Structure 1
């Protein structure tokens, strides 16, 4: 389970220094060297890359913070499946149509699903992450929990370097070690990445064809079924008291016998015995979904139902389908990235020192939101960037004696 870097940045994960010292790292490196040599990694490769690494003190906090599990589903999806990402995704479908057609012919995965993974994982290559893999994986190999797992990822990274597929300086990504357009972990790269452009290297950083084909190969090997849907949003019958869950599989006909139908009324064109699960990510009052084998393939990419729903829903939007029909059961829905930038602009106009307008609801932005919530009498004053605080700030003019930061336009009262 890892965090897609685009999601991490969009949501603004909290960070705090942890106790990591250079001496701790230096004491650990000889053991890593012995492991590398025993696994066929040359001394030259190890010595040129690992001993120079400095510990990253923020990683242990990030290790215990997963936005897929700690963020309300309506916030998580609002930032990942917004009109901006849908529009950009459709542009990517057009720009790479020939490559995607060849990928589909080779692996049986439709272009919309492949591009949806690309969009959620790195915002179509705009956000790879900034942490050097060698630094992150060496630190996590020596401190915190799951050291054995991260040592395996470090060894896989050294093999990528030794093979000459990707240069060390280009191996930057998420804090946990995922890298490239579709954010493969190094061990996943070793098993599944393909050289689709035929240049003799499996390059997920500088080769979009390699990245897209590798993603399709991953899904195929995870059980993807060609030309079958991931699932559908459905309507529950009045008074439905049943339970859901991805592992609670029953034949499709069983769910239909309980009165569950597609929310658009269209019949589900699958065999009656198709193994099917019902997802209720926000309970019976929120959107509900019947999901099939292809949802499991997407889930395997990053083991969180909210993540798999983001990929699945974005793929539907890229096919031209609309937003979810059933509203989330909240009076304070989540914000798109454009709305988050607007919220930050409104906060800057009120004199809050939150840095640049980037759509990332990080520590400074949350602190400013909390102050404004308290001033406006909103409870709880928890620093969450939702629609309620945005609309409240839209509705009032900013203080007359506050000038927005340079390069940030003053917001209009009632800004749409």
Structure 2
């Protein structure tokens, strides 16, 4: 009877949350970018509360709110207040209730308050550490925009049109997924260059891509976002693992960035883009308006296109005058650090076998212990789609085992030792070979 109740309650949550589409509810028309750049980035975009009021939500907030509250009561009654899986269901419900409040507050200060409650603030400290997300991101921005990063930049171009990119990315992903499990298609309704939803990866029909971009999309959108969705959908009872409330965003985005790193798919300019987003959020949280944040990145050397994109991601849903912003993009850095620390801790604690559960569905790190226990009991199914390093944990264990050991080394002293050696090297321009340029 417990498993029957779990499946029924889980299915109800999946159905209730389906029309709650956050990014769709806060998206801006493409012409906003065109008008802003044609105006030399001097005038605030004409986006306010009235604009959002004209963009009707795909659900009736009061109706969905009551459905969630009724489901909350039924979970407590049927599963009890101490059941671990029931608690995860309840936490997701609380998140969706807050999402409804956030979307009702589009274009107002209330939107930013709810966003911070859901995703956090740039001033939040890292879990178990004294450093803030902003401090870490500023350090990463310096690293990924350093002379060394520029020295490594390869002269590749974004010369692959979206239609060709769809074909190439499909070929890559068909080698990882079963036939028919994933689709790559063109879209004219997304602001970013690419986005994943369910079993579909959408590429912006106006965008151009490089081969490095496609490497990132393969593991970030494919292996992680779509892979965990499909793993969650195949659960026999905990079907909510196939959908995600904001509470899982940090794990999802951090895991995606981690996979970019472990597969050597990322590159300094991509990593800087992730760090820049935290800086943009901090500036906007402190009251900088859209133009001021945009000008900050122009002054840092970003192109007009990239400066607009990083700024627009932060201000969508909030107030272009600043102070109320969308803080979801904190999740990339926050989640990356937390996932790395979780893997190290699992290895140090002698339970590396829990690590494949990171891909079991849309989860948080706090969910994994109870999900692993229920996996051992046969309630939770093992993930079907797993990256190779998580399917055979030997290499991952060694990699992070060495990483943990290296934390004992005083890096400052090591750098001081080698700085004298490196200072004597002749200054050269990067040297590339044809083989380096064509192998991906």
Q: Which has the higher contact order (CA 8 A, sep 6+)?
A: 2
TM-score (norm 2): 0.24
TM-score (norm 1): 0.25
Identify, as 1 or 2, the structure richer in helix.
Answer: 2
